[in-house]
Structure 1
Amino acid sequence: MGRLVIKVPLVMANARGLLEAGRSALQPGEQVFDFSEVTEADSSALAVMLGWLRAAALSRSTVKFAQIPNGVVSLAELYGVTDLLPLA
């Protein structure tokens, strides 16, 4: 199992870079994206997370998320996508 710790804000300005970095880091098997060091996040975080899930499906990886920021969890609930975000 690989663990990737996200250390930059999950905001619109970083979304494209984070999406690409996460895609590049995917390996076969389970990957955990750990958000414990994220200090700021907006709705673009959900787009990035869903993008990582799509990329994982294509690369025979399984993605799980740990320590999702509370604001992102609230947005996921609001948008009705909580069930799409597998937790580690």
Structure 2
Amino acid sequence: MLVLPHELTHRQATACLQMLLQGLRVHRESGVVVDASAMAVFDSSALAVLLECRREALSVGKTFAVQGLPPALRGMAGLYGVGTLLTPVS
């Protein structure tokens, strides 16, 4: 499981994305789960990071899901029309 930090804004986005992509590359399972439950401070950059991580996972044939997405970020994703791309863990 890949874990997002407490704060993910524009300032942390590049470093966080690099960390997630590195984790994705060494992840051996067929599905990738990102745990967003620790996130308390975020902006739309968090969505960009998640969507890029999803894109990369799908490009190498893995499934992608998000666990613990904060309600405010889920609402933001819906507002931007990308809510269905951030599948919750079932």
Pairwise TM-score range, normalised by the shorter structure: 0.7 to 0.9
Question: Superposed, which structure 2 residues align to 1:9-28 within 5 Å?
Answer: 9-26=7-24, 27-28=27-28
CA–CA distance in structure 1, aligned partners of residues 60 and 19 of structure 2: 14
Q: Which residue of 1 aligns with 2:57?
A: 56
| Structure 1 spans left out of the alignment, 5+ residues | none
Cα deviation for residue 70 of structure 1 reads 1.7
* Residue pair 1:42, 1:71 contacting (<8 A) in 2 also: no
Per the normalisation by structure 1, the TM-score is 0.87
Aligned residues: 86
Percentage of pairs with the same residue: 33
| Structure 2 spans left out of the alignment, 5+ residues | none
Q: Which residue of 2 aligns with 1:34?
A: 35
